[in-house]
Structure 1
Amino acid sequence: MRHIGLRQGARRGPLLALAAVGLTLAGCAGGSMFGEGSTLGNATSAVGDRFSQLFGSNSQEPGAAAPAAPEGELTCPSVSIRPGASTYAVGAPGKPASGNDLRYQATITRTARDCNLNAGQITVRIGIQGRLIVGPAGAPAAVDVPLRVAVVQEGVNPKTIATKVYQTNVQVGEETSVPFSLVGEDLVYPAPSAAAGDSYVFYIGFDPQALKPEPKARAKRR
């Protein structure tokens, strides 16, 4: 098994703008939008340590440039947030996810990836850190956060090479700001040529449609 080198990805203006919005929202734990929040310093530190152990220097903030790889090595694609999927907001039943009807909102604050090449297949570990902020309408004690990762070959007609949905359960309790993280280790796709690999990118984002609907209650027999 051969570890794939890392190469700096192309810059994308709209994606950087979306990432900046996500980071701004993620920093609102104690802001005026939701009032005073918990610091959760120990929990945040623990999540950061886990990322460092798994990925070392391969982690990055959304929109940040990936480390450069030696010339000629196969690229481990950079990570970008898919436009329109940078936040996950849920409102009170039948209400829009805004203002006093907002129950909670999740954002992505940091990502990491690690690629290994074996027998013509690339196996990827994708790490995602984020933060869930409780809104005025109040969040449940536990929240399922759905995330999708897609390997896309950019171009005139972008092509999805592989995609996978991951889900993490966030224990909210009585906190108002909670960090979360997940690591997906089973994303596999065929290794591209060195030239084509430069156009590959890992897109991540929230995917509410991936959540399984709650089972309907059975009607009582009369």
Structure 2
Amino acid sequence: MVRTGLMMRAAGAGEAGRLRVALALVVAGAVLSSCGGGSMFGSSPDAGTDPNSSPSISSRFSQLFGGSKSQAVGEASPKGVDSELVCPPVSIRAGASTYAVGAPGKEAVGNDMRFQASITRTARDCRQTGDQITARVGILGRVIVGPSGAPPSIEIPLRVAVVQGGVQEKTIMTKVYRTTVTMNDQGSVPFSLVAEDLVFPVPPTNVIDSYIFYIGFDPQALTPEPKPKAARKKK
């Protein structure tokens, strides 16, 4: 009886041990799931190894847009937020997907490149109020330092436009935005921008499917506008 009791206790201890292991695995799985699935943009290709990936950026986008409207560059555009409202897809303008700057007086190629910025993911949502649509377009990207070395901070110029596509494109509205990126010693820094004040008229039903949000870098937006020449005084 004593031997049997010992065997029963040993079996009970073994079962309890297995239960503890199973419980630990469940808890670990839940923690990993919460870490990997909360960001609107998900994980970038190097987020697992990049010590500079910023959770605050992903969290901000998650709060603004939720988790269902993420669009990686090159992916098909998700459907609109409201089933009765078509929210135009986001596309990067040809020739405006990167922003590279070279050393003073040099082209941004090879060892003369100071830095290059690129867009990695986008998101958008739309809300209709009367005959107007208010939209937000989110842009997530990354700045990489070049061989020539980047300055401590970089101003990133981005343009967002609402365009009616077709044989002859029609720009409904366009606006320039800027965001400043503080660089670090690692040489790769993420950046984000949310254009929250895009307002345009509700498109006619027959052309609404041709509307699109075009985004891209616009270096010319950093060039100060020339000051108007002073009028000459009449003698």
Q: Secondary structure at the match of 1:174?
A: coil
| 1:19-98 to 2 correspondences below 5 Å | 39-41=51-53, 43=54, 45-56=55-66, 57-68=68-79, 73-98=84-109
Identity of aligned residues (%): 62
Distance 1:71 1:194, change over 3 A: farther
- Identify the residue that residue 205 of structure 1 maps to in structure 2: 216
Contact 2:176 2:221 (8 Å CA) reproduced: yes
Distance 1:71 1:86, change over 3 A: closer
Contact 2:73 2:120 (8 Å CA) reproduced: yes
Contact 1:141 1:174 (8 Å CA) reproduced: no
Distance 1:69 1:174, change over 3 A: closer
Letter in 1 for 2:218: D
Equivalent residue in structure 1 for 2:151, among 113, 122, 140: 140
Contact 1:51 1:59 (8 Å CA) reproduced: no
TM-score (norm 1): 0.75
Q: Secondary structure at the match of 2:141?
A: strand
Counterpart check, 1:186 vs 2:200: no
Give RMSD over aligned pairs: 2.5
Distance 1:70 1:176, change over 3 A: closer
Letter in 2 for 1:84: G
| 1:149-160 to 2 correspondences below 5 Å | 149-160=160-171
Instruction: Point out 4+ residue stretches in structure 1 off by more than 6 angstroms.
Output: 26-29
How many pairs are equivalent?
181
Structure 1 residue 64, shift from structure 2 partner: 1.5
CA distance in 2, matches of 1:39, 1:74: 40
**Which structure 1 residue ranges, 5 or more long, are not aligned?**
1-25, 30-36, 216-222
Structure 1 residue 72, shift from structure 2 partner: 7.5
Structure 1 residue 112, shift from structure 2 partner: 0.8
Letter in 2 for 1:166: Y
Cα-to-partner distance string for 1:20-76 (whole Å, 9 max, x where unaligned): xxxxxx9689xxxxxxx95313x1x32222211111111211221222359982310
TM-score (norm 2): 0.71
CA distance in 1, matches of 2:214, 2:114: 26
CA distance in 2, matches of 1:27, 1:106: 16
Equivalent residue in structure 1 for 2:126, among 115, 121, 125: 115
Contact 2:79 2:87 (8 Å CA) reproduced: no
**Which structure 2 residue ranges, 5 or more long, are not aligned?**
1-43, 227-235
Contact 2:155 2:179 (8 Å CA) reproduced: yes
Letter in 1 for 2:184: G
